[in-house]
Amino acid sequence: MFLGEYNHTLDDKGRLTLPAKFRDQMAHGVVVTRGLDGCLFVFTYEDWKSFTSILSQQLPFTQKSARDFSRLFFSGAVDIIPDRQGRILIPSYLREYANLDSEV
């Protein structure tokens, strides 16, 4: 789990430099997806597996709102491996969803 609030910028290519204290945890890759209220969720692979397992068991797929959330959450998910400088490329559709410009 990542805690805290950080101010960073996106470069012209849409890359975000990860906070230094989290880079070791994210070195092998992360999953970024649409979150709630126009935010993005960032998970390590281990956290992604745990969260999606719980989500799959808890969401009542007979309810339209649960299916809508699952569709939003899973369809936007992308695996990203940081580059050597600790940056991840946020895809344009996720930048648009979260209204990310240069300040994040």
5-31 pLDDT tens trace: 778 889 999 999 888 888 888 888 999
CATH of the domain at 22: 3.40.1550.20
Give the per-residue pLDDT at 1. 60
Domain contains 64: yes
> Quick check: 67 pLDDT over 80?
yes
Q: Provide CB contacts within 8 A for 94, sequence distance 6+.
A: 32, 33, 34, 40, 76, 78, 100
Higher pLDDT, 8 or 44: 44
In this structure, are residues 60 and 70 in contact, taking their beta carbons and an 8 Å threshold? no
Domain contains 7: no
Give the per-residue pLDDT at 12. 92
pTM, two decimal places: 0.87
Whole-number mean pLDDT of the chain?
A: 90
